[in-house]
Amino acid sequence: METTLIILKPDAVQRGLMGRIISRFEDKGLQVVGAKFMKISDELAATHYADHKERPFYAGLVGFMTSSPVLVLALRGNGAIAICRSMMGATFGFKADAGTIRGDFGVSSSFNLIHGSDSPDAASRELGLFFSDGEVLDWARPGDAWVYDMSSGSPE
């Protein structure tokens, strides 16, 4: 099982899309194991987006991410990183396929609604930035028996 970081960005929060987006992940079978509604500080945004520091869009990105509250989620599931990225769709809403979060809710090349970790290493680093020890929980969902075939001893 993988755990990944998802951020519902200021545009998703301001447009009232949080519940609809979370429902998509839960409907898919992913488990919410952490959630935090927060305003990202300049320092946290700078750390999170440090890889983009030299890019021309960096200042605007940090300004956008600190402009309004966000909803930070830790989602868990078998292949959660790839599943979430597929569900998110292409970076720009006007290029994203219908049926994806960005394809269904976005048209902007600047406001793209959602962030998701792109690798296990990134997920580990990003989860550590946004969640303290004890804030990402292990909890059993009896319904997982109907999400994953466990007959081989591992989720399929």
The number of C-alpha atoms within 13 Å of 34 and in the hemisphere containing its C-beta is 23
What is the mean pLDDT of each successive set of 10 residues along the chain, which is 156 residues long?
97 98 98 98 95 91 96 98 98 95 92 96 98 96 90 84
| Phi, psi (deg, nearest 5) at residue 79 | 70, 30
Residue 27 lies in a domain: yes
Q: What is the CATH number of the domain that holds 60?
A: 3.30.70.141
Residue 89: the pLDDT is 97
Would residue 115 show up in a list of annotated catalytic residues for this protein? yes
Range of the domain at 7: 2-146
Residue 155: the pLDDT is 84
Catalytic residue selected from 9, 48, 76, 115 = 115
Residue 10: the pLDDT is 98
> What is the domain count for the chain?
1
What is the token pair recorded at 23?
């429902």
Residue 150: the pLDDT is 83
Residue 82 lies in a domain: yes
Residue 93: the pLDDT is 92
Give dist(CA 82, CA 42) in Å, integer: 29
Residue 156: the pLDDT is 84
Residue 154 lies in a domain: no
Q: Which amino acid is at 54?
A: E
What is the token pair recorded at 68?
């309004």
Residue 59 lies in a domain: yes
Residue 31 lies in a domain: yes
